[in-house]
A and B are shown apart, each in its own frame.
Chain A
Amino acid sequence: MRTILALVALLAAGNASAAAYGSAGCGLGSMAFGSQPGGIQILAATTNGTSWNQTFGITSGTSNCGKTAFALQGTKVFIEGNKDALAKDAARGSGETIVALRNIASCQAPAEQVGSALQQNFGKLFPKADAPLEQVRDNVIHLLQSDKTLACTLG
């Protein structure tokens, strides 16, 4: 028991000190993507670009997140990293990225309902072929926040 408490104490301490960083710049994605479109990042990963590897270096300590920021930040990171796959699943109203998105955004509604909402709003979420990554990301976040029937928990 003592050891479990010790572990919890350790993790709590980590969060407390990390909170000082604030929510801006926390998480993996905001640092990983910058202003570049997400697809290029996957390309960079494919070609083993140096900046990519450094960004995800194990000691880089990119996840400077407090607990409350995690859902929103994690959702943003996820949407950015999965934009193309998410667009396809949204158009289909189902798929693995929707199940994951629902979980990261802590939505109470079942995945079927989240998928249906994304499908119905597809034109608003993904308005153009060349819609900027940030716009798509914010559109999806906005839907998850504003559609109360989905009951997502995003700060």
Chain B
Amino acid sequence: MLAFAIALAVTAATPAATPTDPYLVQLVARARAGRLGEDRWWLRLGHWHRGLLGGWEAEPDGPDFYLSPRGKTDPQAELEATLAGFFAPEEKDPKVQHPQCRFPARLVFAVKRLGLDPSRLPRRECPRLAEWWERTRAQAVTLVFSSYYMNNPASAFGHTFLRLDRRIFAGPGEKLELIDLGVDYAATPDTSNALLYAFKGLAGLFRGDFSAKPYFYKVREYADFESRDLWEYELDLPPEAVAMLVAHVWELGSTWFHYFYLTENCSYEVLAALEAADPSLDLLDHVGKITIPADTVKALFRNPGLVKAVHYRPSARTVLERRVEGLRPGELEAVLALGDDPRAPLPAGLDDPGRARVLDAALDLVDVRAGKAIIRGDAAALARRQALLERRSAVALASPPLEVPPPPGGGPEHGHGSARAGLGGGASRQGGPFALLDWRLALHDLADPPAGFSPATQLEFLKTRVRWESRGAGGKLRLDEALLVSASSMTPLDRLDPRISFRVRAGAERVRDGGCSACVAGTFLAGGGGTVAAGPVALQVTGDLALQYAPDLQGLRGSGFRAGVGPTAVLRILGGGRAALLATAAWRWQPEARPDVTWDLSAVARLHLGSGSLFAEARRTPRADELLGGLYLFY
């Protein structure tokens, strides 16, 4: 904070600078002698990394981020151009900001690492920077994790952003977070075509920008509109680092990046900004090549003492569930009736607290069920909500604060590692004994340790299993499956907000029903249905459509294509956080293909031990019976 103030508040009048200002010459010489161009802090401030060919390459892609024409690939040239920029004459175009104003964090760096004396710089006014500074008034920094959101592929792994905290307290322990400033790095998609979206997102063809909005927009967007729980990680940063972050975000705000969905994504840039603000932090080293938002949260915890406190902000859906738990016998019926008809009668003999309780739950129910319709201005949904609001306001009683405990498994920092590797062996009736290798890039399946994840959601990305069969001359290596994505939701059909369950699988799988002799077929499967749950037991039933292709398949009209339709049932029993049992039965009719009926029965058992899980699986299909087991390691 203080260094920032020193660097910015240039008080003494100084002689006009020229390109050959002796002080500038002296600073440049000092920077060269000290090899400051490769100083770790400087490299972080410019986001330079070693490129494939060994040279430096910076990530920001907007040209305004560089003062040297070679700045993107030459940190030393950029440092010298920055120093010269600080001495530059006043900008003629009022829209263009002076380098002192554009790069306040670099200025602090020069003061601290190079011993630049700010009073020897020409004084430049920075009204826009001052506005930004005033607008943030940051006292602390919080990293916010917005939970997994299956309805949008871009958010399926979660999302992270920063909150610049003003730390204004309304009362003891009652922090006013809504008016803090959220700082977000996000892509600006320019297509709604799903395939194009995926391609452009993976290839870095979208533009990513930093933006700042009051935190209440974030809460309304994520917690209310999308019903995603928010996890808030309050960071213990020294005041200097908080000020540096505000200054550096200002620098980043003037540029843009190519947004890479898997690597240089929201979570990556958020960590990079934190590292630039506090060079003592080590964050990105703890994240793999693929930046998974939950991993970036874990990276915070790898810096001891960095996370000061964890807060949980429940989503609209979680709030509703908590309200329903607080109802007395018989009141749920009234809440459901009000959800359909806001003028439905309340139970006879209910006192005012009871009426408030029932109406409060009904209001949350309407918001969860029809939140999107309300936002879009759907007249019927709005009228229903308004009637309930008026009815609630007529009960002249303030609702007591609703305490919503965080889920027992905790936040993403308690989740197992995103990547999983497995080693095991087994035997099949047809192929004899085999060894198997299994690997998955991310993230979670329905039988993995549930802590830190949504227990109702599976999302797997790049899952591969191969086996080596010893039978035959020299044995042989076989691919079991190579899946691009495998997703499934087991959201129980409750009476509050019935949501369908679905499954999607895309990739290549071994055909085990005799449709071809041991071939691997490209597969796309999609299905929808429902889940019923009671305690640790959940049963999901879906109707599926599977499309498969392999040259050897005996498919439709003699082609290699075949289509199958039929039901799948999945039964899961969770043994707390320690064990899981998953049984699956699928049946499909494949018109005009051979065989015209196929089926698949399997059971998976897991025992979770710290960062690994023991697994055992049994599977039966028309042409394969096998048993296998082994060990998974999460990392």
Contacts and interface: CB of A to CB of B under 8 A. Distances in A.
A57 B221 contact: no
Given A14-B133, A90-B393, A103-B170, A112 B398 contact: yes
B398 A45 contact: no
A28 to B, nearest CB: 7
B127 A18 contact: yes
Contacts of A104: 179
Query: How extensive is the interface on chain A, given as a class?
Result: 35 or more
B130 A11 contact: yes
Interface in B104-140: 125, 127-135
Interface string B241-257: 00000000110111000
Nearest to B392: A91
Given A42-B225, A88-B363, A58 B377 contact: no
11 contacts: A14-B129, A17-B127, A46-B226, A48-B188, A53-B209, A59-B250, A91-B392, A102-B170, A111-B171, A119-B398, A120-B393
Contact of A58 (B190, B221, B254, B356): B254
B174 interface: yes
A147 interface: no
B390 interface: yes
Contacts of A6: 5-6, 8-9, 11
B375 interface: yes
B217 interface: yes
A92 interface: yes
Given A39-B374, A122-B390, A128-B386, A100 B178 contact: yes
B226 A48 contact: no
B396 interface: yes
Contacts of B309: none
Contacts of B360: 92
Nearest to B178: A100
Interface in A76-103: 77-78, 81-82, 84-85, 87-88, 90-97, 99-100, 102-103
A119 B338 CA distance: 20
Contacts of A39: 374-377
Interface in B159-193: 168, 170-171, 174, 176, 178-179, 183, 186-190
Contacts of B168: 103
Contacts of B388: 91
Contact of A93 (B187, B209, B397): B397
Contacts of B125: 13, 17
B367 to A, nearest CB: 7
A73 interface: no
A94 B398 contact: yes
A37 interface: yes
Contacts of A78: 178-179, 214, 216
B534 interface: no
Contact of A63 (B131, B171, B249, B390): B131
A4 B389 CA distance: 49
B188 A129 contact: no
B403 to A, nearest CB: 13
**Leading 10 A-B pairs by shortest Cβ distance:** A58-B253, A14-B130, A6-B9, A122-B393, A129-B386, A7-B5, A93-B398, A129-B382, A92-B399, A94-B398
Contact of A96 (B178, B190, B393, B398): B178
A67 to B, nearest CB: 9
Contacts of B213: 28, 45, 56
Interface string B398-410: 1111000000000
Contacts of B376: 39-40, 43
Given A18-B127, A56-B211, A88-B363, 7 more contacts: A14-B127, A57-B253, A81-B220, A82-B220, A93-B397, A95-B399, A129-B379
B224 interface: yes
B385 interface: yes
A7 B10 CA distance: 10
A63 B254 CA distance: 17
Contacts of A128: 386
A56 B178 CA distance: 16
B178 A97 contact: yes
B2 interface: yes
A139 interface: no
A93 to B, nearest CB: 4
B401 A94 contact: yes
B253 A59 contact: yes
Contacts of B130: 10-11, 13-15, 17-18
A123 interface: yes
A45 B186 CA distance: 11
A35 interface: no
A99 B216 CA distance: 13
Contact of B377 (A28, A37, A122): A37
B225 A46 contact: yes
B176 A58 contact: no
A155 to B, nearest CB: 18
B532 interface: no
Contact of A91 (B133, B174, B390): B390
Contacts of B6: 3, 6
Given A56-B211, A130-B382, A13 B220 contact: no
Nearest to A77: B214
B547 to A, nearest CB: 30
Contacts of B398: 92-94, 112, 115-116, 119
A26 B419 CA distance: 48
A58 B250 contact: yes
A89 to B, nearest CB: 9
A27 B128 CA distance: 14
Most buried by B among A28, A64, A129: A129
Contacts of B2: 3-4, 7
Contacts of B210: 58
A57 B379 contact: no
A128 B399 CA distance: 23
B212 interface: yes
A130 B384 CA distance: 12
B263 to A, nearest CB: 19
B350 interface: no
B355 to A, nearest CB: 12
A37 B376 CA distance: 10
Contacts of A95: 399
Interface in A115-143: 115-116, 119-120, 122-123, 126, 128-130
